[in-house]
Structure 1
Amino acid sequence: MTVSPVSLVLNYQQTGKYALNVVAGSIMTRRDLRDTSIYFSKNLEELTGHINDAQRQSQTVIVGWSFYSPQFKTISKDLNYIKQQSSYANVLHLAGGVHATAEPLQTLNAGFDLVAIGEGEQIICDLLSAHMNGNNFKTVRGIAYLDASKLEKNGKGETIDLNDYPPCASRFRKFGPIEITRGCVYACKFCQTPFVNKARFRHRGIENIAHYV
């Protein structure tokens, strides 16, 4: 089977950095994905440059964005700017996080090519693997996209066991607070978190936490 090289460029700024640390770390848990080129772009100029660099070495470039609702307007402008500054060829802009999960149609209409619905660890691994092996990304669980302006969703991403994935990307020296608990039981009307994977807590094990301290 022919393997097609894929690069991942991460919009590594604002409030999405900790989530992207986890995304990058999750990729390193997969032996078949460990050679994936991953770029961490700290501003729009770096993001443009990294996309152009990645296009020269990969058949597909996935640009990862993670953001909250208050950043949506700014992120939409940033996306439009990036698309004007870089080539469209073989570039897919992927949005994830609670806003994209709650509002996939709005997010796609803003110009994103794909939305990750739900938790991103397994989705990003499956998406990269699909592209590497020549499979259709539309078959990946948790991916949403537009088909002739109509929203198409392939379900929601797998609810993971926190112990199966690192809370950081140590290979790239990208660290943040260790996520000990995910989810919430307090269904506040202003918050999306309890509705992503039901109103419950999930905890990282003590031994796993100690390993990363």
Structure 2
Amino acid sequence: MKLGLISPKGVCMGSDDNQRRTKQIYSKLVGMETLEELMSCPNSPLLTIAAIVQDYFTEIKFIDEEVETIDFNESYDLVAMSFMTQQASRAFELAKKYKEMGVYTCAGGMHPTNSPDETIKYFDTVFIGEGEVTWIEFMEDFKRQSPKKIYQNVDEIDMEKVPVPRFDLLKLDAYKTIPIQISRGCPHNCEFCASTKVYGPKYRHKSVERILEEVDLVTSLKPNIQIYFTDDNMLVNERFSKKLLTELCKRKIRWMSHTDIGVAEHEEILKLLHKSGCSKLVIGFESIEPNSLKHLERWKYKKYKHYEEYIAKIQSYGVGVWGTFIVGLDSDERSIFQKVVDFALDNNLYGAMISVPTPFPGSKLYERLEEEDRILTKYWGDYTLWNVVVRPKKMSVKELENGFEYVLTSVYSIENRMKRLNHFKRIYTNLMRNQNV
């Protein structure tokens, strides 16, 4: 049997009008390399599925629509897709086409888990939750020609039982960054986040030995590749983090990941980050407007007063902070746009990912805005975080669109890129000087 694993186009897509507008905005920006690295990263769950079911197939092919075109003349016994909300509209189109061709179709991932009733209208089988156990159940049923429409896992998967992903299936020359997932779960419960419904609040991780095995495999396939640890909150467990970073210091790798601002409170971790190959950390600040932050997540609201201090501390160790911000939240006035620009520049952030409120299915934000009848479209391709898909409370849609563009073009001007580069040049010079003392 032959299996096709497809990651649908959509990470940067949107509808035609929105896509054109987004491209126009981003064509003006300078220094967006980190965002490009994140957005062009291949789909990690599909590579794990390939490892789970490899004994059932004589051939498995991984297709990433962001870097290659699908050949619909190629035949498969089964096609499986894993996708986020912004990829869902395209995934539904592909499922329809493959079903017309007589191919059995499966779907899993963030959007299918949070919107199974919608997804099953397009796919033969939908997986809800983590799929390490249910995929084996499905394959046995599929062999007996009696697959079910829904396979649901409600248990937390032991991360040690997650197989090593099939990185060898990737067209490695197409990527600057390769994903490795070392943990699942995040203790925070942000209103906009749909991930906790899939992975839960408990932080679970692979052993350091298993992680090193995956790191070594990736670097053996493509030396000098940057690794993206795709965890929601990689450094939340201090003891585990120190053990892992100490081992990574023995390997010459480059990596980035997500964590929360609380990492600044752990000196020993900070000392190990740059030595271990960490170049930047993506940290969700979400808002610099206290009232907005209070409604998003109480833990982050309590840390708000330390934001500037902690950014300076983390970056003093040679690790860039890539901050994420949402503009146009319910408590935001039009003044929020200049405030975000000033905050990013005054604190010499390595980078900033600016987004607008996006109610992903499965999140508390979706439930609230659906109840308030403020969702403007459910064409999922527009849920890129950059297109306005909800009616703002204290500004018009047009004001939010214009403000979003203003923040991006201000932060990513040539002048401000040079300011950031000079700031980090001074940091690295000081680090080298101190090392040589």
Q: What TM-score does the superposition give when structure 1 sets the normalisation length?
A: 0.70
Residue 18 (1) aligns with residue 44 (2) = yes
Per the alignment, residue 201 of structure 2 pairs with 199
CA RMSD of aligned residues (A): 2.7
Of 108, 112, 119, 2:130 maps to 119
Per the alignment, residue 107 of structure 2 pairs with 95
Return the offset for 1:107. Answer: 0.8
In structure 1, stretches of 5+ residues that fail to align are 1-5, 55-60, 145-153
Return the offset for 1:18. Answer: 1.6
Return the offset for 1:170. Answer: 4.3
Separation (CA, whole Å) in 2 of partners of 1:157 and 1:48: 35
Return the offset for 1:106. Answer: 0.8
Return the offset for 1:137. Answer: 1.8
- CA offset digits 1:133-192 (Å, max 9, x no partner): x16222xxxx61xxxxxxxxx542653222222342045357832211111121112222
Which structure would you say has the larger RCO, counting Cα contacts within 8 Å and 6 or more residues apart?
1
C-alpha distance 80-156 of structure 1, shift in aligned 2 (>3 A): same
Question: 1:21-100 residue pairs with structure 2 within 5 A?
Answer: 21-28=47-54, 33=55, 35-43=57-65, 46-50=70-74, 52=75, 54=76, 61-84=77-100, 87-88=101-102, 91-100=103-112
Q: What TM-score does the superposition give when structure 2 sets the normalisation length?
A: 0.37
Per the alignment, residue 186 of structure 1 pairs with 188
CA contact (8 A) 2:185 2:202 kept: yes
Return the offset for 1:37. Answer: 2.3
C-alpha distance 156-101 of structure 1, shift in aligned 2 (>3 A): same
CA contact (8 A) 1:8 1:62 kept: yes
CA contact (8 A) 1:123 1:157 kept: no
Separation (CA, whole Å) in 1 of partners of 2:141 and 2:189: 35
Return the offset for 1:19. Answer: 1.5
Paired letter, 1:209 = I
Return the offset for 1:194. Answer: 1.3
CA contact (8 A) 2:2 2:60 kept: yes
Residue-pair matches, total: 177
Tell me the secondary structure at the aligned position of residue 160 of structure 2: helix
- CA offset digits 1:79-131 (Å, max 9, x no partner): 334445xx22xx2211100110111001112x111100111222222222322
The sequence identity of aligned pairs, in percent, is: 27
Per the alignment, residue 146 of structure 2 pairs with 136
State which structure, 1 or 2, has the greater radius of gyration over its C-alpha atoms.
2
Residue 163 (1) aligns with residue 160 (2) = yes
Paired letter, 2:2 = S
Per the alignment, residue 150 of structure 1 pairs with none
Paired letter, 2:94 = D
Separation (CA, whole Å) in 2 of partners of 1:82 and 1:35: 19
Paired letter, 2:114 = A
